[in-house]
Structure 1
Amino acid sequence: MTILDKIIERKKQEVADSKSKISVEQLKDSEFFGRKTFSLKETLKSKSGIITEFKRQSPSKGIINDKVSPLEVVSQYEKFGASAVSILTDKDFFGGSFEDILSVRNHINIPILRKDFMVDEYQFYEAKSIGADVILLIASCLSPTQVSEFTELAHQLNLEVLLEIHSEEELVHINKSVDFVGINNRNLKDFKVDLQHSVNLKNQLPQDILSIAESGIYNEEDFKFLKEKGFDGFLMGEYFMKDENPGKKFGKFVSNVSI
């Protein structure tokens, strides 16, 4: 069983537990459910193109940074031009929580991507209820039919959809409704990073789809390489989060790559 298999198995248990405690109708009554969402399609063009990330830990790296608060970090991210912020809400494997989004939603005016492992329709109502604007669908743990159905539901809730792929076999998961295709430079099964593999995959995407380079961007050279290859956006977490001041690190990065 891979790490991804373990995460999905635990996630299904977690969702079943949440369903037994809070109904969809209760989620619809939350403070943020009726709010007007921010569009990543718009901010990708008007800001840096970088989706920064708040992530305390990961299965492959262990603790990355558990000393900073979401609000102090994401406020700096926004200040220095982030197009959006990705916030991990998985607790068991990434140390995240819904509170990480709830604590910042009223304080920033850029889209929030709820980064989690979406396996059930219930989670989309959760995402809407905590103030997310974009959700992540991971092709390797969903069927093409599920991707299509989940995308339709997300759009009904005015949430944009980032579909993540890593292999040529997963290209069949792409449909005309997804808003962005993210290509993960890191293989979720063995956690190896290969930027050229991502470029090769990008060249096989439909021409009218917005592409996001995800993970494994460890320095300015990696970023410039992927930008030159035509990616529309870049999801970067660990590179900034491993610094004691992630927001300041991001500001310096943006200045150095002349965005």
Structure 2
Amino acid sequence: MTILETILQTKRLEVKQLLMEELVVSCETLPKRPSLFETLRESDRLEVISEMKRASPSKGMIAGNTDSVAQAKAYEQAGAACISVLTDSTFFKGSLDDLAAVAEAVKIPLLCKDFIIHELQIDRAKQAGASVILLIVAALDDVTLQRLYSYATARGLEVLVEVHDAKELDRALAINAKLIGVNNRDLKTFDVDMARTEEVAKHFPFNENRVFISESGIKDAEDASRAAMAGASAVLVGESLMRSASVEDSLRSLQVPKAGVPL
């Protein structure tokens, strides 16, 4: 069984438990945040989606005792375009409580990063303050992908749709995804290769009203420039920022000029 399959098996059990608890999800109006799509599209530099990430299946504990609010405030102050909060507890040591606490502390777009397979998870993410959710193409069949995408957007959420190759890009385009991220990490083996971004970029419709994002494995300005040259408008960075002695210096070093649409 791959790492992704193991995570999804656990996630299905979590969702089953949540459904049995018949949780009441509030529909109260939350503070409006800027659009991540518009922020990335209009910027003339490579923007950074900064991630609150305590641990991962591949690296184990990264920064287990990190205060999520302090980290989020440091990200916002350093100029992050969006903050991603991992809310999976079993494999990434995050929680919806982290997301809710960060939501109260910052005003920029807020991404709930989890393995979403059911509408209830979307409702809970929104209730906790997320303005963006993640849908992973590799984790969903076409029907479920479309259903969850439509459900989220109908509730006023933006959706970052994650792909790993050209075939998954086609599936993301089929649901008319606007924010598309290439995960440089293979979710089956958890190996990282930034060539994934460059490969998918060859097939990306840059002439359409969409935004291209590179995720995972970005450590420094050289990696950021490589993503920008491929046509990325943003990079999603977790581990290197979580380990950094200076969040501000590290984050700003990644804000290289956009390279424009690749030929």
Q: TM-score, normalised by structure 2?
A: 0.89
| Contact in 2 for aligned 1:220/1:253 (Cα 8 Å) | no
**Which position in structure 2 is the counterpart of 1:218?**
219
The alignment status of 1:102 with 2:103, answered yes or no, reads no
Q: How has the CA–CA distance of structure 1 residues 171 and 2 changed in structure 2, closer, same or farther, with 3 Å as cutoff?
A: same
Q: Distance in 2 between matches of 1:110 and 1:219?
A: 23
| Contact in 1 for aligned 2:146/2:175 (Cα 8 Å) | no
Q: Distance in 1 between matches of 2:91 and 2:47?
A: 27
Q: Distance in 2 between matches of 1:204 and 1:250?
A: 34
Q: Distance in 1 between matches of 2:212 and 2:52?
A: 21
Identity %: 36
The alignment status of 1:237 with 2:233, answered yes or no, reads no
Post-superposition shift, 1:176? Answer: 5.0
Q: CA RMSD in A?
A: 1.9
**Which position in structure 2 is the counterpart of 1:42?**
38
| Contact in 1 for aligned 2:46/2:233 (Cα 8 Å) | no
Code of the aligned partner of 1:40 = L
**Which position in structure 1 is the counterpart of 2:261?**
none
What secondary structure sits across from 1:127 in the alignment?
Answer: helix
Matches within 5 A, 1:132-171: 132-171=130-169
**Which position in structure 2 is the counterpart of 1:228?**
229
Between the two proteins, the alignment pairs up a number of residues equal to 252
Q: Which runs of 5 or more residues in structure 1 are unaligned?
A: none
Q: Distance in 1 between matches of 2:255 and 2:168?
A: 32
Q: Which runs of 5 or more residues in structure 2 are unaligned?
A: 258-263
Q: Distance in 2 between matches of 1:253 and 1:133?
A: 22
- Between 78-87 and 145-154, the greater mean CA deviation after superposition: 145-154
Post-superposition shift, 1:256? Answer: 7.1
What secondary structure sits across from 2:235 in the alignment?
Answer: strand
Q: Distance in 1 between matches of 2:18 and 2:158?
A: 23
Residues 197-223 of structure 1 deviation map (CA, whole Å, 9 limit, x = unaligned)? 321111202232211100011222111
Q: How has the CA–CA distance of structure 1 residues 133 and 152 changed in structure 2, closer, same or farther, with 3 Å as cutoff?
A: same
| Contact in 2 for aligned 1:240/1:250 (Cα 8 Å) | no
| Contact in 1 for aligned 2:181/2:215 (Cα 8 Å) | yes
Q: Distance in 2 between matches of 1:213 and 1:136?
A: 14
**Which position in structure 2 is the counterpart of 1:190?**
189
Q: Distance in 2 between matches of 1:192 and 1:22?
A: 38
Q: TM-score, normalised by structure 1?
A: 0.91
